[in-house]
């Protein structure tokens, strides 16, 4: 049985990580909070400017439900995506080299599996394809992207993509918590790992 399990999981990286799960979790919490605020801020601003209301912004569907053009939702969603790109891609590429703000604060960083610096292509694959698209439940911007997709196509994607995103996020969490390498799905897809800042 043990040999069979090893064969099935032969793709799992078993090289021990020097980053504790608690540091990785703390960085994730910081990034989830800050990234969510920054990513959602353009939508809140546009909602307040268009509706002249100070109540809480809920989602991109609110514009149409209040009788406004979907163009406002498209603009809000697009600007939210740009804000997310700045936070999750530009900052770790240009400002902190492999570090989101959360990773910078806890002194860990993203590197390629050969421990070289991450390049733009790697960050785009990791942060957009891996985290925003595949692990859809992991960050706030994904809900705006799914809402945009629903508005553009007219097909309600939230239910199906929401379930898939949650399942893949849980699988990713299991990988981080139960393997020595602590690599998530987005790390495997992009060929990255997380190490201490001084490595």
* Cβ burial, residue 195 (10 Å; 0-12/13-18/19+): middle
Count of structural domains, the chain:
1
In a domain, 12, yes or no: no
Other CB atoms within 10 Å distance of the CB of residue 74: 15
- Confidence label for 77 from pLDDT (cuts 50, 70 and 90): very high
pTM: 0.88
In a domain, 101, yes or no: yes
In a domain, 55, yes or no: yes
Who wins on pLDDT, 16 or 170?
170
Question: Where in the sequence is the domain holding 133, given as residue range(s)?
Answer: 18-196
In a domain, 178, yes or no: yes
Is the alpha carbon torsion for 67, 35, 21, 181 positive or negative? Answer: positive
Alpha helices in 14-157 (DSSP H): 21-51, 62-65, 70-85, 101-106, 120-123, 141-153
In a domain, 159, yes or no: yes
- Reduce the DSSP state of residue 92 to 3 states and report it: helix
The Cα 35–Cα 84 span in angstroms is 7
Q: Is the pLDDT of residue 83 over 70?
A: yes
Whole-number Cα distances in Å, 49 to 37, 44, 72, 80, 127: 18, 9, 10, 15, 30
In a domain, 132, yes or no: yes
In a domain, 47, yes or no: yes
């Amino acid at each position: 049985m043990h040999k069979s399990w090893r064969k099935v999981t032969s793709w799992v990286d078993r090289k021990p990580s020097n980053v504790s799960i608690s540091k990785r979790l703390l960085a994730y919490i910081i990034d989830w909070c800050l990234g969510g605020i920054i990513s959602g801020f353009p939508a809140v601003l546009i909602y307040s400017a268009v509706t002249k209301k100070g109540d809480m912004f809920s989602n991109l569907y609110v514009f149409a439900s209040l009788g406004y053009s979907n163009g406002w939702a498209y603009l809000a969603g697009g600007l939210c995506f740009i804000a997310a790109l700045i936070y999750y891609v530009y900052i770790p590429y240009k400002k902190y080299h492999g570090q989101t703000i959360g990773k910078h604060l806890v002194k860990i960083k993203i590197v390629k599996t050969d421990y070289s610096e991450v390049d733009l292509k790697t960050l785009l694959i990791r942060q957009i394809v891996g985290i925003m698209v595949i692990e859809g439940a992991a960050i706030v911007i994904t809900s705006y992207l799914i809402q945009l997709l629903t508005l553009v196509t007219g097909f309600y994607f939230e239910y199906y993509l929401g379930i898939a995103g949650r399942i893949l996020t849980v699988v990713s969490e299991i990988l981080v918590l139960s393997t020595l390498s602590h690599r998530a799905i987005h790390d495997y897809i992009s060929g990255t790992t997380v190490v201490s800042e001084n490595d």
